[in-house]
Amino acid sequence: MTTTVYFATNRAVNNPQESPNNYTLNMIAATEEMSYGTAFVDSADFPGDNVGVIRSLQDFRKGNFSDAARRDIGSGGRNILVFIHGFANSFGDAITRAGFNREWLAKSGVPGADTTVIAFCWPSRGHVIEPPFPSFAYRSDQDAAGRSGPHLVQFFTTLSPLLQFARQNGLRTFLLAHSMGNWALQAAMQAWFEHGQGAIELFDEAVLAAADEEHTTFDHRPTGRLSALDRLASRISIYHSAGDKVLDDLSEPLNFKQRLGQRGPAGFPDVNRFPPATYRVVDCSGFTDYERTFQATHQYYRRSEGVRANIASIMA
């Protein structure tokens, strides 16, 4: 099986761009100089949780997708899934994970979950723990995710015509942000409105899975942190789990604050603050249909068949 993943990255890239190892930990300064391209991923294996390998990287451009990629995205006839990866993902991890997510959604049997996937790859170090200081990799990633906000704004701006075209033609558009990808997303939302950009419905649904973001993020109204995400997404689905060991044992102690992905947003279920038509909060603590290792408890959105089916159902 070969999966196509369209991608944008604010990693500095060495030549040749065809090598995944040349996508560095350094972040480019100019948002308009981001690299765009197309990846082909082989051998996703669901029972074995093998996300596959990158077979090739092609069709590189600076600042936007190629004409060919834009045509493929815009006229592919599939709903669109935009994926923002989390903590401890190398460039290769981010691309293969995006392809894996596309495939498990497609295999759900829900027609709307068979999507075209587009990944945004920020410069994570790719390690959970990096000696000699266990917290170094986490802090480095958190800093990189936060500084990626303006790049993510540029990415959304570049994607906007494609997403609008898809929606005008009866397709649906989805955003899936996992883990620390939500930290990058909140930085982007603040930058979006601070720079004078207004409300625009880019996404039918934004899925925030195991979000490594403050649980008070929606208290920062009108435009702080994720509080204005509803101006870019018609509905927001928040998946959380009290059994998420990565958030419990690593993130919350380092941040001295409860995370959105642990017990959901502060103030829920106040329907005045979280109207059901806009906010959907799913407690995944009771899903035990996967091996609950330390890292797997943070990956339940793709490891649990029940959670996968729940996510696919909203894409119908």
Instruction: Please give the model's pTM, rounded to 2 decimal places.
Output: 0.96
DSSP 170-218: T--EEEEEETTHHHHHHHHHHHHHHTT------EEEEEEES--SBTTGG
Residue 265's contacts (CB-CB under 8 Å, 6 or more residues apart) are: 215, 216, 217, 218, 238, 274, 279, 281
β-partners of residue 238 are 208, 281
Q: What is the mean pLDDT of residues 109-135?
A: 88
Q: Is the pLDDT of residue 48 over 60?
A: no
Q: Is the pLDDT of residue 45 over 80?
A: no
Bridge-based pairing of strands 279-283 and 233-240 is parallel
Do residues 49 and 29 make contact, with C-beta atoms less than 8 angstroms apart?
Answer: no
pLDDT of residue 49: 61
pLDDT of residue 1: 81
- 257 DSSP assignment: S
How long is the chain? 316
Q: Is the pLDDT of residue 46 over 60?
A: no
Angle ∠(35,27,198) on CA atoms, nearest 5? 70
Bridge-based pairing of strands 23-27 and 11-13 is antiparallel
Within a domain: residue 100? Answer: yes
Within a domain: residue 53? Answer: no
Number of folded domains that form the chain: 1
Range of the domain at 121: 62-313
Within a domain: residue 28? Answer: no
**Least confident span in 52-56, 156-160, 203-207, 230-234:** 52-56
pLDDT of residue 136: 84
Residue 251 CA to residue 212 CA, distance in Å, equals 7
What CATH number is given to the structural domain containing 197?
Answer: 3.40.50
Q: Give counts: helices (H), strands (E), the chain.
A: 10, 11
Q: What is the mean pLDDT of residues 116-124?
A: 98
- Mean pLDDT estimate for the chain: 94
Q: What percent of the chain has pLDDT over 70?
A: 96
Q: Is the pLDDT of residue 104 over 60?
A: yes
pLDDT of residue 50: 65
Within a domain: residue 36? Answer: no
pLDDT of residue 85: 98
What is the tens place of the pLDDT at every residue in 207-235? 999 999 999 999 999 999 999 999 999 99
Within a domain: residue 9? Answer: no
pLDDT of residue 147: 98
Within a domain: residue 2? Answer: no
What is the tens place of the pLDDT at every residue in 237-279? 999 999 999 999 999 999 999 999 999 999 999 999 999 999 9
Within a domain: residue 286? Answer: yes
DSSP 8-47: EE-EEEPSPTT-GGGEEEEE-S-GGG-EEEEEEEE--BTT
Within a domain: residue 144? Answer: yes
What is the tens place of the pLDDT at every residue in 291-313? 999 889 999 999 999 999 999 99
**Least confident span in 26-30, 51-55, 139-143, 292-296:** 51-55
pLDDT of residue 135: 80
pLDDT of residue 134: 67
